[in-house]
Structure 1
Amino acid sequence: MAQVPWWRGNLPAETSGFIGHEREVRRLLKLLPGTSLITVTGSGGVGKSRIAVKAAERCRDSYPAGAWLVELSGEHNGDLLAHTVAAVLGLREQSARSQIEVLVEFLADKRLLLLLDGCEHLLAACRGLVAEILAAAPGVRIVVTSRQTLELPQETPLPVEPFETPEPEAGTPTANDALRFFLDRAGAAVPGLKADEATLAAAARICRRLDGIPLAIELAAGRLKTMTVERLADHLEERFDALYDDRALLTRHWTLRTAISWSHELCGPEERLLWARLSVFAGDFDAAAAVWVCGDRRLVNVRDLLADLVEKSLLIRVPGGYRQPGTVRDHGREQLARLDDEERLTRRHRYYYLDLARQADADWYGPRQEEWADRLNFSVTNLRLALDSDSPSTSLSIELAGTLWILWFCLGRLREGRYYMKRAIDAAPVTDPGLPRLLWTDGCVAIARGELELGRLRAEAALSAALDWGDYAAAGHAQLRLARRSLFAGSLDEVEPAVDLVREYFRKAEAVTVDEPIALVTLATAATWRGEFARVVSVLEEVQRLCDARGELWVRACGDYVLSIAQLGLGRAAEAAVAARQSLDVKWRLRDAAGVALALDQLAVIAAVEGDGHRTARLQGSAARLCDTFGLRGLGSKSVSEPRTVAERTARQLLGDDAYDAIFAEGHDDDLDSAMAYALG
């Protein structure tokens, strides 16, 4: 299967065969065109998520804006639901309006399929968000998986039952979905397993005893590395018969719990201990996190044990790491509470993710920015958990909220960052040493969202506290926020003195920080707006020297964009195009949608200056498509919008209105990968 571009959806690749529940998939596909909200309901372990994802996979080509899966099983904070959805869609948080308002506006004209998976623990938040989306976005279809419905008037429930189990005297047992599912998973556990008559009969007993519940069957199949199918059937019957004299009392819920409990008993002591400790994670985690948080002298081979738990279907492999199925995690949490070790593991979890944030901060000014961007985005659910599982007034919470400036600012989670930082600022003791960093980080995010006065107040408070404590590094970071506030407020004469102070503070602190080249890009931007293009080139040469010496990409790409404007101002169109393409290439690799759109705009302006109306129109169409895809309405200041307007006017004069509109539409309708190839060619 061809890989779907990252901007067209995020459905996971099928890692094992899809067996059974075809009727439910067909029903879902039949409902979707005319039904705005479908809730796939059923008890734990019956396959709700697989059904929803399989149906979405089959119909995603019907949704030009993509099919998007939002995993909610690891989320705990309903206040951030809109942020979670927006982040999955790639929507940039650049507005001071509420995130729900921005998200609904973004979706209003989209034809898009949205899957909200595992909503039962966030029902109220999901109900409110879904209602808002459906009221404003007629082209959006929402599929929810939950043990309960949302109880909205537009909702169509799609109940999912376990597989029908084979009859004891079935003539063709292999036609039964439960049995087919078991044999498929058994074959994965024991390659070459022969399905002879005795094996089929024992497998049918297993499926009946487990009431056809897919997760329970999968857990059972995972035991076949250590016992035969016949012995597995006997074990299960012994286990269930010992617990229940009255078969009628055995509900599906208790069948699954009993199967999980039985799987727990069959694990070795180290596997059981790791299972319990892993329950401290939310959502996806990687092996390094599991080793650091869960490992000690009692668990020295965590990586091997992870592989063992995957083989037993107690862990799911995901790109970059692992995830515990929800019901398995719940059982592990119960065991961790019985071990009276939950507080210690939660504390280790918080310290691990604080250390991760520190490493990202220290390493960001270097060649590993793409790696750190991926790693922080992968870890965001656990980073939220680390922030939510402790009081916002603790030193750990204060430091973590401020140290995550890369996630909040560079990776576009502005409003989510403001949520956590405001909470910490309101609770922080004035004597906490992490407060200046928290204040300047919040000021940085506020300025990026256009809240210039709040940004000024935060930066001034950070500067005052930093100077009182002699923390010149923090003073430099705070002073840079004041310089950027002056830039965006149009007070260009204030920028250079502020940048001089930034560099002085960093020299006093002997700090090597990415904020030094950012300060120079700020100075160059102000010089560009003043028309001092030769000075811009000189300043950005130093930016290139600083960034290239450390292999830094993100700030260098910001500088290349400004350099392109200056080169064009000096009449050097060819050099301007080279710089704009360099910026575009890096911003695309870092998935910085705003940076990509600005670079496309700049390339379109250059094409217009060179008299190429066709290229101008097509690039402007691609830039508009990108802005539509990522909700970048009204991107750019007057210094960006005016050249864009002039370039369009020039291209219309060169081509005529009809030709311009047709070529613009070609660029807008082009997929973004092709648009990038054209722009970079």
Structure 2
Amino acid sequence: MTVLAEKAGAGNLPAEVTKFIGRRRELAEAKQVLARTRLLTLTGVGGVGKTRLAVRLATDLRRSFADGVWLVELSALHEPELLPRTVADALQLPGQTAGAPLDRLSDHLADKRLLLLLDTCEHLVDGCALLSEVLLRAAPGLRILTTSREPLDVMGEHNLMIQPLPVSGGPGEDDAVALFADRAEAMAPGFALSGDNRDTVTRLCRRLDGIPLAIELAAVRLRTMSVEQLEARIDDRFRLLGTSRAGRDRHRTLRAAIEWSHELCTPDEQALWARLSVFPGDFDLTAAEGVCGGDEVAADGLFEVLGRLVEKSIVLCERDGRRYRMLDTIREYGAERLAELGEGPALRRLHRDHYLDLAVQARNAALGADQLGWLIRLRDENANLRVALEYSLSSPDEEATGLRLTIVLQHYWMCLGLFAEARRWHERALGIASASPRDRAVVGYGAAMVAVQQGEPDYARPLFAAALEAGDDELRAHALHGQALIALFEGHLDEARAHLEEARAAFDEIGYNDPLALLTGPHLSTVLLLQGLEDEALAVAQETVRGGEETGECWNHSFALYARGAAHWWLGEHDKAVQDLLACLRIKESLGDQLGITLALDLLTPASVVGGENERAAMLLGATDTMWRTLGASGQYGPHYMQRRATSERAVLRRLPRRPFEDAKRRGAGLSVAEAIALARGEAASDAAPGAADAPAADPLTVRERQVAALVAEGLSNREIAERLIIAKRTVDSHVEHILAKLGFNSRTQIATWNERRDRAAGPRA
């Protein structure tokens, strides 16, 4: 492969937290295969190390792919129809894209040189096969690497069977022995591989067939027994299998190792292991306590039991100790035990109820200062929300609750732009025959709002009409808002204004009870502006901005800032416009709202022209062209919007010769979203990385959040910060979540670095 390093390092591969051992031959062979073929599948038994090898392989190949290497984790996904959207999410493509997700994904990848790693495909083989075939045909520069217990059986696929680590017992160090020694030293600091114990360790690894997961589970036992005792216990375990080693397949070897780990657990640990299998992916402590507590595992003592499972490597701890998960093989074993206990249906219902309660809490906080933190929390729980919806909507006795969960999640999907996800669940809910007329109308309204954003007004019209006739004043106001959007996007400004004014009059009486109701303000301001009524547009936008400042709500507030910025711009108040648009951009960035980001960047383009930054304006045009293509949505915003974009381009062309203009636009088209945002702010593209922005130039934190950030920088834990400020720890947790989201960070270290820069830039204090 040709090495293209312009964007070397792009992607989302996780950092390795333990030493990678062995597999030199497999790595070399896989690299050779990927140099001459475009689809490589690593197959092998569970626990053999396919994922770890694939991630190391992808890491080694990063510099060969100008557009990066991207990991898509599929173990928590059980709906094949969501596979294209899941891949798009991993590639950080916006959820607001119009059209079929697979088509949009194909368009995005068409000109990319990229490696896609699809991990854990065996339960979605048909879907992964179809996806791979379509994407490889659409994107000549694409390579796909998959891990699966069986091949995809796709034309052109090369299958590389991953065998367990070799255990020869010769004079050189075997990889299996090296793995055991490395993990054992981490688990039992007093352990060291030596001439005295090498033969014992070798026999132990041979009895475990060299399967990495089995070896790692065994190494944990050195905390409580010697390696000699460990070998004897494993001998006993395999004697119980009733077959010779030659007659024992590797699947049974791994199962025996897992069963032994299970038998060495206490009854409360065994019960929790089984119950935790109800989570499809990762989960937090609150969820574990709410879903899995009871009987053998008291909720107030669950943290201690969970900690013991972490110590035994049954459960993995992630994200600074805030999230937990189990490996697929371990979770599958737990699910078998859960079925044997007969607790499966009850646990699935408890799981659903927990996430319904979480969604209700988020919905109740949707109009206040905690909105952003709750949206981020729901985004972290998306896999669990999917399982809760699937359980409810596919169980006849639970359909009513499924409808409720769908309705409660409407604001979450809309605020984060998860349109494809929302469309799927709304259409599932619309198929429930037992739904009440009002519930059907509310779900229909939600499906229609999504369809409008996806550029399908004809799908939306009858659903809005049904909502208007449902006999519910609030639903009628929402439906009028939806009809106004169709009129706006089709260029019928008088009709759009009439619908919006009627909807706002209704909400003034009923109350603005959700973010979508508030959005009538920015939309009305936009219509007035397009009608040439700049002063009226500014007044409406100003009123909506004040509302957001009073409540702390951020999603609608960002649209209000955009609308006010646009009005200021049309009134010639350019500095005020740029200030509002940059403030809007900060919020949109924290939400990951790529549609909102693109809208703001579009309006910042003429600001660059007025400021004499013509090259930057041309680059922003190129960047937003790419972003609109990714969204597939610019045309649906109507003729007035398209005319405004064309005017911006003509203004730049009047100031730049054609060749420099095209060159700058081409460079802008290659920018990432983060780089485009940095460009609009007047920063170097390299400053777009998390933690690199100049803090004082755009400090989005409240006074209290700055206090918390300073204490984080001192190294205090959340509990210590709560004691220092005399507030609840839960409040501190929320503040830290807000800080991370607003600054675009993912660690406390980045907060500390940001705070240090801010203090340094502010200068000495009196």
Q: TM-score w.r.t. structure 2 length?
A: 0.83
Once the two structures are TM-superposed, the CA of residue 432 in structure 1 deviates from its matched residue by 6.3
C-alpha separation between the residues in 1 aligned to 2:650 and 2:450?
35
Match in the other structure for 1:201 = 199
Contact 2:217–2:261, Cα closer than 8 Å, also in 1:
yes
Question: Compared with structure 1, are the counterparts of its residues 385 and 304 closer, same or farther at alpha carbon in structure 2 (3 Å cutoff)?
Answer: same
Match in the other structure for 2:439 = 434
Q: Name the amino acid aligned to 1:304.
A: E
Percent same amino acid at aligned positions?
38
Match in the other structure for 1:129 = 131
C-alpha separation between the residues in 2 aligned to 1:27 and 1:555?
53
Once the two structures are TM-superposed, the CA of residue 5 in structure 1 deviates from its matched residue by 10
Match in the other structure for 1:404 = 409
Question: Compared with structure 1, are the counterparts of its residues 28 and 626 closer, same or farther at alpha carbon in structure 2 (3 Å cutoff)?
Answer: farther
Match in the other structure for 1:572 = 573
Contact 1:395–1:432, Cα closer than 8 Å, also in 2:
no
Match in the other structure for 1:544 = 545
C-alpha separation between the residues in 2 aligned to 1:652 and 1:498?
38
C-alpha separation between the residues in 1 aligned to 2:351 and 2:476?
31
Q: What do you get for the CA RMSD once the two structures are aligned?
A: 2.4
Match 1:58 to one of 41, 57, 60: 60
| Aligned 1:97-116 pairs, distance under 5 A | 97-116=99-118
Question: Compared with structure 1, are the counterparts of its residues 608 and 656 closer, same or farther at alpha carbon in structure 2 (3 Å cutoff)?
Answer: same
Contact 1:309–1:315, Cα closer than 8 Å, also in 2:
yes
Contact 1:605–1:643, Cα closer than 8 Å, also in 2:
no
Match in the other structure for 2:248 = 250
- Range moving further from structure 2, 9-18 or 365-374: 365-374
Q: How many aligned positions are there?
A: 670
Contact 1:164–1:178, Cα closer than 8 Å, also in 2:
yes
C-alpha separation between the residues in 2 aligned to 1:5 and 1:371?
32
Q: Deviations over 1:516-567 (max 9, x none)?
A: 4211111111111111111111111111111111212221221222222221
Contact 2:66–2:114, Cα closer than 8 Å, also in 1:
yes
Q: Name the amino acid aligned to 1:397.
A: G
C-alpha separation between the residues in 1 aligned to 2:35 and 2:628?
26
Q: Name the amino acid aligned to 1:399.
A: R
Question: Compared with structure 1, are the counterparts of its residues 485 and 429 closer, same or farther at alpha carbon in structure 2 (3 Å cutoff)?
Answer: farther
Match 2:74 to one of 32, 51, 72: 72
C-alpha separation between the residues in 2 aligned to 1:509 and 1:579?
30
Q: Deviations over 1:414-444 (max 9, x none)?
A: 1232122112112142426633432221121
Q: Name the amino acid aligned to 1:377.
A: R
Contact 1:92–1:632, Cα closer than 8 Å, also in 2:
no
C-alpha separation between the residues in 2 aligned to 1:56 and 1:427?
44
Match in the other structure for 1:281 = 279
Contact 1:87–1:413, Cα closer than 8 Å, also in 2:
no
| Aligned 1:395-474 pairs, distance under 5 A | 395-431=400-436, 434-467=439-472, 472-474=473-475
Question: Compared with structure 1, are the counterparts of its residues 270 and 631 closer, same or farther at alpha carbon in structure 2 (3 Å cutoff)?
Answer: farther
Tell me, what secondary structure is at the counterpart of 1:158? strand
C-alpha separation between the residues in 2 aligned to 1:289 and 1:466?
38
Question: Compared with structure 1, are the counterparts of its residues 565 and 399 closer, same or farther at alpha carbon in structure 2 (3 Å cutoff)?
Answer: same
| Aligned 1:6-405 pairs, distance under 5 A | 8-94=10-96, 97-167=99-169, 170-172=170-172, 175-300=173-298, 301-319=301-319, 320-392=322-394, 394-405=399-410
Question: Compared with structure 1, are the counterparts of its residues 6 and 294 closer, same or farther at alpha carbon in structure 2 (3 Å cutoff)?
Answer: farther
C-alpha separation between the residues in 1 aligned to 2:483 and 2:414?
16
Contact 2:8–2:65, Cα closer than 8 Å, also in 1:
no
Q: Deviations over 1:558-592 (max 9, x none)?
A: 12222222212111222222122112222122221
Match in the other structure for 1:614 = 615
Once the two structures are TM-superposed, the CA of residue 120 in structure 1 deviates from its matched residue by 1.0
- Range moving further from structure 2, 434-443 or 211-220: 434-443
Match in the other structure for 2:657 = 656
C-alpha separation between the residues in 2 aligned to 1:111 and 1:631?
21
Once the two structures are TM-superposed, the CA of residue 93 in structure 1 deviates from its matched residue by 4.5
Contact 1:89–1:630, Cα closer than 8 Å, also in 2:
no
C-alpha separation between the residues in 2 aligned to 1:673 and 1:421?
32
Match in the other structure for 2:524 = 523
Tell me, what secondary structure is at the counterpart of 2:417? coil
- Range moving further from structure 2, 250-259 or 233-242: 233-242
Question: Compared with structure 1, are the counterparts of its residues 130 and 540 closer, same or farther at alpha carbon in structure 2 (3 Å cutoff)?
Answer: same
C-alpha separation between the residues in 2 aligned to 1:187 and 1:84?
38
C-alpha separation between the residues in 1 aligned to 2:245 and 2:64?
46
Which consecutive residues of structure 2, in runs of 5 or more, have no partner in the other structure? 1-5, 683-766
C-alpha separation between the residues in 2 aligned to 1:367 and 1:518?
17
Q: Deviations over 1:375-432 (max 9, x none)?
A: 2232222222112223456111111222222343222221232122112112142426
Contact 2:403–2:439, Cα closer than 8 Å, also in 1:
yes
Which consecutive residues of structure 1, in runs of 5 or more, have no partner in the other structure? none
Question: Compared with structure 1, are the counterparts of its residues 537 and 511 closer, same or farther at alpha carbon in structure 2 (3 Å cutoff)?
Answer: closer
